[in-house]
């Protein structure tokens, strides 16, 4: 099932991502999709906060393919595949990204679709789309039972939070 969240500011996107970050487990994979400026890195900043990291640690890694952050509850591997467009499975293998996915940390992967198919089977796909300057729609598509559960908890927690 696909779930949609509407946000009206970067802070709101980060707040959702932070709640998600608090629910993640070792080896979790979050795939991020959306045009340039949609808010993928913004979302990773929120994830970082939810893992107990400082959001300022997260930057848009133009030249860095992988940035590792170890100060939180779990390691965060922030991966940006933008430069891998059109790369083949062997090339991705050479970079060793797959090792991060089976690791003890959380992998947050921007431009997830540049990953060759079948490298990852279980993950949460987050697709961000523009509505206008400050509004975005976040589409959450869980792949695998663990992620189904997490999305249910996330949306349940948020609606309770809104009521109080």
Residues that bind ligand ADP (CB under 6 A): 7, 9-10, 12-13, 34, 36-42, 60, 110, 134-136
Q: Locate tokens 């997830």: which residue?
A: 112
37 binds, among ligand ADP, Mg ion, none (CB under 5 to 8 A by kind): ligand ADP
Number of Cα atoms under 13 Å in the Cβ half of residue 140: 23
Interface with Mg ion, residue 41, by CB under 5 A: yes
For 32, the 3-state DSSP assignment is strand
69 binds, among ligand ADP, Mg ion, none (CB under 5 to 8 A by kind): none
Q: Rounded to the nearest whole angstrom, what is the least distance from the CB of residue 44 to Mg ion in the complex?
A: 8
Residue 14 CB coordination number (10 Å) = 23
Q: Rounded to the nearest whole angstrom, what is the least distance from the CB of residue 34 to Mg ion in the complex?
A: 9
CB 47 within 8 A of CB 18: yes
Q: Rounded to the nearest whole angstrom, what is the least distance from the CB of residue 24 to Mg ion in the complex?
A: 19
* Max intra-chain CA distance, the chain: 51
CB 93 within 8 A of CB 100: no
Residue 120's nearest CA partner among 79, 71, 83, 155 is: 79
Subset of 46-75 contacting Mg ion (CB under 5 A): 60
Choice between 33 and 110, CB closer to Mg ion: 110
Q: Rounded to the nearest whole angstrom, what is the least distance from the CB of residue 88 to ligand ADP in the complex?
A: 24
103 binds, among ligand ADP, Mg ion, none (CB under 5 to 8 A by kind): none
CB 144 within 8 A of CB 123: yes
Q: Rounded to the nearest whole angstrom, what is the least distance from the CB of residue 62 to Mg ion in the complex?
A: 9
Task: Write out the residues near Mg ion by the rule CB under 5 A.
Answer: 40-41, 60, 110
């Amino acid at each position: 099932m696909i779930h949609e969240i509407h946000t009206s500011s970067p802070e709101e996107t980060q707040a959702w991502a932070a709640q998600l970050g608090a629910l993640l487990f070792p080896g979790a994979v979050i795939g991020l999709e959306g045009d340039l400026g949609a808010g993928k890195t913004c979302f990773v900043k929120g994830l970082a906060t939810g893992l107990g990291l400082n959001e300022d640690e997260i930057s848009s890694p133009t030249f860095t393919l992988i940035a590792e952050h170890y100060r939180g509850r779990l390691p965060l591997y922030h991966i940006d595949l933008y430069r891998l467009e059109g790369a083949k499975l062997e090339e991705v293998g050479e970079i060793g990204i797959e090792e991060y996915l089976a690791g003890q940390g959380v992998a947050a992967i921007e431009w997830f679709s540049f990953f060759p198919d079948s490298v990852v089977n279980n993950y949460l796909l987050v697709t961000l789309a523009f509505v206008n300057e400050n509004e975005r729609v976040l589409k959450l598509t869980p792949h695998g039972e663990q992620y189904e559960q997490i999305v249910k908890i996330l949306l349940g927690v948020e609606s309770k939070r809104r009521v109080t």
